[in-house]
Amino acid sequence: MSKIKICGLYRPEDIQYANEVQPDYAGFIMNYPKSHRNVNVEMMRALKKHLDPEIKTVGVFVNENPNLVAAIAAMGIVDVIQLHGQEDDGYIEKLKERIGNPIIKAFQVHSPEDVRLAEASSADYILLDGGMGAGEVFDWSLLKGVNRPFFLAGGLKPENIREAIRDTDPFAIDISSGVETEKKKDLKKMREAVKAAHAR
Ligand SMILES: O=C(O)c1ccccc1N[C@@H]1O[C@H](COP(=O)(O)O)[C@@H](O)[C@H]1O
């Protein structure tokens, strides 16, 4: 069993689906127009209003100005901050002085050195990913013996979640494209993903 974050919600229907299938975390790609999942602050505020408060919201940022991230955190619309760009420990420390929200730092993993770098992060959680929301699986054998709890991301789908949990024992599964059909969240796939992650 693992927790699960379903990432990249951006339509009102996505919120209804999340309320129905109850992931532990709901992720929102914020201020990143390169992604089709992009939401701005106003959209986020409107979506959050309808989300079950038991589901934690994660604001995902890519190399965003830390002052803006802190300002968004102060609005109370994100419970957790995810940093998915090249933000370093200096950036994270600066942010920690301004906000009390837990911080997840994402790392792309291609080698054992990438894993060591992630383990040393000053973030509250690390997220180990193959790409950037592009559905890329990486070599999970690199994760043997990781010394702290991690979110596992990258190319996960309902069909490979059980194998991923068995092989890597993550704190949480993080999934986005694997629960979409034609770039839109798919209720059936979301239900199957949550069931697979929460199965004992
Ligand atoms: O999903 C995006 O568009 C995105 C954009 C910028 C940074 C991160 C993004 N997504 C993150 O990618 C991983 C895995 O996604 P997938 O399941 O492989 O599609 C997840 O952490 C998302 O938060």
Ligand 1, atom 1, residue with closest C-alpha: 133
| Residue type (1 letter), 200 | R
The pLDDT of residue 131 is 80
What ranges do the domains of the chain cover? 3-198
The pLDDT of residue 23 is 98
Q: At 120, list the tokens.
A: 């040393």
What ipTM describes this predicted complex?
A: 0.97
Question: What are the backbone angles phi and psi of residue 148, rounded to the nearest 5°?
Answer: -150, 155
The pLDDT of residue 160 is 97
Q: Which atom of ligand 1 is nearest to the CA of 151?
A: 21
Residue whose CB lies within 8 A of the most ligand 1 atoms, among 37, 174, 185, for a mutation test: 174
Candidates 14, 79, 114, 129; catalytic one: 129
Q: 3-class SS at 106?
A: strand
Q: Which atom of ligand 1 is nearest to the CA of 179?
A: 17
Q: Tokens 């040393």 map to which residue? A: 120
Residue 23 Cβ < 6 Å to ligand 1: no
pLDDT along the chain (200 residues), means of 10: 98 98 98 97 97 98 97 97 97 97 97 97 96 83 95 97 97 97 97 97
Q: How far is the CA of 159 from the centre of ligand 1 (A)?
A: 18
pTM: 0.97
Q: pLDDT tens digit string along 168-199? A: 999 999 999 999 999 999 999 999 999 999 99
Burial 122-156 (b: 16+ CB within 10 A, else e): ebbbbbbbbebbebeebebebbeebeeebbbbbbb
- Specify the CATH number of the domain 3-198: 3.20.20.70
The pLDDT of residue 132 is 72
Candidates 7, 14, 24, 174; catalytic one: 7
The pLDDT of residue 112 is 96
Residue whose CB lies within 8 A of the most ligand 1 atoms, among 7, 14, 56, 128, for a mutation test: 7
Residue 105 Cβ < 6 Å to ligand 1: no
Query: Which ranges in the chain belong to alpha helices (H)?
Result: 12-21, 41-50, 66-74, 89-98, 112-119, 161-168, 187-198
**124 part of the active site:** no
